[in-house]
A = this chain, B = another copy of it.
Amino acid sequence: MTQLHGVVPPVCTPLTPERELDVPSLERLAAFLVDAGVHGLFVTGSTGEVAYLTDETRYRALDVVAGVAAGQVPVLAGIIDTTTTRVVEHAKAAKAAGADALVATAPFYAPTDPVEFPGHFRAIRAAVDLPLVAYDIPVSVGHKLPADVVLELAGDGTFAALKDSSGDLDGLRAVLDSTDDLVCFSGSETLADLGLFIGAHGLVPGIGNVDPHGYLRLYDAARRGDWAEAKTEQARLRRLFEIIHVGDGRMGRYSSAMGAFKEGLVARGVITGGTTSAPMIPLNDTERAAVRRHLAEAGLL
């Protein structure tokens, strides 16, 4: 697993106006990211609208990205579903579609106790022989993945890595201080420098779709211990990240963020259209113009 590290954007899933997968756009996006120098691609993550995609679209998207990556960088696949048996099905399909590693959450919807998490993850790991990444995302799953469960499953080889989208830097620090067996990624766009400061090995920033070069500069600065430069770059990216609020008051925050990321990619000429999945509310002209204004201010247009 030496190759899992660095900037690994959770790749957006471009859609046609009819909400079908826009394959040429996805190919251009994957190529844009690889050309920028990212260290991996995370397909069918939250930013990839995984919870909105049919199984068919999920694996088609993964297949497309794996084709572009062509072994240059590892391709991680989110295998997001409610419980073990359903996740195992996704794991098998993702391996068949070209995934190099799998990213799974604790069970959700079904009320599940932490005492049942090890059985869940071990069954996934046993079913498909690919590195397994623990995905800690309480905002979606409804509970935090406890540090002791993460450490137990890192210790026995179930987990190769952790993607922490919990916002709990204290908890992430506890994990980092307790093991050398786990590659840790921060999922934060706005505290990425702090994640690296405390020892995280990589970043999975949603807005890294729009500005991969920024996160690569931040990552490189951190790697050489230039924290002043890392902070400066983070400050610029924090301002850019404000685009997620363009739809505030008229839609949910996820509609606004996904719409903004995609519109940003349209503005940069990477993908063709900004369509998001149902039931997300699309951005209107005013909101799209606000996205472009932010990008211009960030020097991206």
Contacts and interface: CB of A to CB of B under 8 A. Distances in A.
A277 interface: yes
Q: Within the oligomer, what is the number of copies of this chain?
A: 4
B111 A252 contact: yes
Interface residues of A, number: 61
Interface in A180-228: 188, 190-191, 193-194, 197-198, 225, 227-228
Contacts of A116: 251-252, 255, 279-281
Interface string A125-154: 000000000000001111000000000000
A257 to B, nearest CB: 9
Interface string A249-262: 01111110000000
B111 A140 contact: yes
Contact of A52 (B84, B193, B198, B238): B84
A231 B280 CA distance: 42
B110 A52 contact: yes
A278 B108 CA distance: 13
B198 A194 contact: yes
A89 to B, nearest CB: 6
Which of A82, A110, A173, A254 has the most chain B CB atoms closer than 10 A to its own CB?
A110
Given A84-B52, A278-B119, A278-B120, A113 B252 contact: yes
A139 B253 CA distance: 21
A222 to B, nearest CB: 11
Contacts of A84: 52, 277-279
Interface of A: 19, 46, 49, 51-54, 80, 82-86, 89, 107-113, 115-117, 119-120, 123, 139-142, 167-170, 173, 177, 188, 190-191, 193-194, 197-198, 225, 227-228, 231, 235, 238, 250-255, 277-281
